[in-house]
Amino acid sequence: MKKVKSVSIVFYLLLIVALFLFSNSFMKEASAEVKTLKIGLIASLTGPMAPAFKDLADAAKPVADLMNQRGGVTVKGQPYRIEIVTEDDQSSPPGAVAAVNRLIQAGIKFIIPPLFIPSNMAITPITEEAKVLCMKSMGAVRDQANPKLPYSFVSSTFVYNATVGYDFLRKNYPKVKKIAMLSPDDPVGTTYRELAEKEIRKQGLEIVFQEQFKLGSEDFYPVLTKTLEHKPDAIDVVFSIEPWSAGIINQSRELGFNGPIYASVGLLGDINILKGMLNPKYAYDLFQMGPDVQSPKMPAIVKEYRILVEQQIKTPFNTSHTVVLDAVYVLAQGIEKAQSLDTDKVAQALESMKSVDTVCGKGRMAGKDFFGIDHVVRRPIAVSGIRDNKVFCEFSNRD
């Protein structure tokens, strides 16, 4: 009888231990339950800028899905899935201010701000005061990144591109000596034009004509006629978007210009979209400072992302789709390096990063030489373009 009782006592003790271990294991699993990290995205969903920035809003879901497929972010053992909350800036600074205030009121501490520069600048004082970390997807002016803006970062910039652009021109078109600069009259344009002008003079080339065209222009014949009177060997549009680039290329070729046309600092636009807008017989000697995102030379993350974009959005994959991915990708690396969601700690971590993965490959945090602070990702510089109606893409070895 005593033996039976002893067995029973041992049994119950083992059962209690088992229940305790199970309970402890369950609590650990519960504590490791995946939480949600919300990242704000402000884009133009309505208003005049909506057509240009529609792809940014469309990219939100596939970006979040891709990042979550890759594990989201983990902070001190706690996994977080990423959710991107999109707000409309209505193509205006007042709309952007309203949008950022909604995100801040919702408790969101990380934001991808609008690409529309007036909207971008309108929200910066608000995000800085609220200690909201902004990862701008593109930055070119010191108003977007400087020592007085500790919570403002940029995941890509064009300010280092002009040297690579003119190296490419000299290597591929050695007979070019005279440059015409025909660029959009844009708030960022002054910075871009200064960078291009500096490089042109450094390379010993001559600027024979320079003019800015109004945003939204379609008829370029008058300005092109003036341009060609100066007999340039090449036309530098500095930076542009597809409709303007296509207009300049098609119309200048019609007027008899057959030299290279390029963007020495920024883009002509998505190179595949642009190719489709050109008369095929005019699609030659064109290049820009940015990748062909459909190229097999792009990193694996871009190839994975392209599949999701084409499945979910059902439109051809283009450069604009990668802009949001690049910003979120860099931000996630900063959060994991900081092992914190505190924006002060994440800012410090980002600023100290010596290596950063980007949609163009391995980059690094930089910018002190131009912006006065290392808050800008300096990534591999790609040159893409069109030769004989065929798209090409290559990456520069120059840092």
Rg over alpha carbons for the chain, rounded to the nearest Å, is 26
Q: Give the whole-angstrom CA distance, residue 334 versus residue 134.
A: 12
Q: What angle do CA 87, 92, 96 make, to 5 degrees?
A: 35
Contact 327, 298 (CB under 8 A): no
**pLDDT score for 17:** 40
**pLDDT score for 140:** 67
Q: Give the whole-angstrom CA distance, residue 167 versus residue 164.
A: 5
Determine which helix (DSSP H) or strand (DSSP E) holds 223, and give its type and residue range: helix 221-228
How confident is the chain (399 residues) per 10-residue block, as mean pLDDT?
Answer: 47 44 45 87 92 89 97 97 97 96 98 90 95 88 81 93 96 98 85 94 96 90 97 96 95 98 96 97 97 96 96 91 96 98 98 95 92 93 96 86
Contact 252, 262 (CB under 8 A): no
**pLDDT score for 16:** 45
Q: Give the whole-angstrom CA distance, residue 353 versus residue 374.
A: 9
- Out of 3.40.50.2300, 3.20.190.10, 3.40.720.10, 3.40.640.10, the CATH code matching 161-288 is 3.40.50.2300
The 10 Å Cβ neighbour count of residue 42 is 29
In the chain, where are the structural domains located? 35-158+297-379, 161-288
**pLDDT score for 8:** 52
What are the DSSP calls for 162-200, one per residue?
Answer: HHHHHHHHHHH-TT--EEEEEEE--TTHHHHHHHHHHHH
**pLDDT score for 50:** 87
**pLDDT score for 141:** 67
Do 35-158+297-379 and 161-288 share a fold?
Answer: yes
Closest by alpha carbon to 128, among 149, 98, 154? 149
In the block, residue with structure tokens 């009782």: 5
Contact 160, 364 (CB under 8 A): no
Q: Give the whole-angstrom CA distance, residue 218 versus residue 117.
A: 22
Q: Give the whole-angstrom CA distance, residue 178 versus residue 256.
A: 17
Q: Which fold has domain 35-158+297-379?
A: Rossmann fold (3.40.50)
Global confidence as pTM = 0.87
SS3 state at 328: helix
